[in-house]
Amino acid sequence: MATNANSLSLLRAIIRELRHVYGKGLYQSPSYLYMKDQFHRSSVTSEKYCRSKTDLQYQAMTYLTFLESTRLLQEVTDMYKGAGERSIEASAELVGLKLPKNPVTET
């Protein structure tokens, strides 16, 4: 039973990531239909094709990792994409640093 709960949570996580990719058209997408079909086929037994019990879960976890990594790469690319020439202050702030303030000299 733990395997079924594990598979269900894995399928939900994959659907959540696919929702980021496809938006509202998720349920008509080939990726969603394929994943749903694969999970339904392996619901009776995961050893249908002489594979180990965890092989299908491993493939699903690998696909989930790929989807998450692709989404995170896109977020990082959008955050740090080239916006032309930046000032020194903007470049320092981009990496989390603050420049020291210039001291005021009295004459």
The answer to whether residue 56 is domain-embedded is yes
Domain extent, residue 26, equals: 2-79
End-to-end CA distance of the chain: 80
The answer to whether residue 64 is domain-embedded is yes
Choice among 9-13, 17-21, 39-43, 44-48 with the minimum mean pLDDT: 44-48
Has residue 46 got a pLDDT over 80? no
Average pLDDT on 6-15 reads 87
64: confidence class by pLDDT, cuts 50, 70, 90: very high
Q: Among 38, 40, 41, 82, which Cα is nearest to 63's?
A: 38
Choice among 50-54, 69-73, 75-79 with the minimum mean pLDDT: 50-54
Instruction: Output the pLDDT for position 100.
Output: 83
Residue 50 exposed, middle or buried by CB count within 10 Å (0-12, 13-18, 19+): exposed
The answer to whether residue 8 is domain-embedded is yes
Has residue 47 got a pLDDT over 60? no
Our count of domains for the chain comes to: 1
Has residue 8 got a pLDDT over 60? yes
Q: Which amino acid is at 63?
A: Y
Structural contact between residues 3 and 54, judged by C-beta atoms closer than 8 angstroms: no
pTM score of the predicted model: 0.62
The answer to whether residue 47 is domain-embedded is yes
88/81 Cα distance (integer angstroms): 16
pLDDT above 70 coverage of the chain, percent: 84
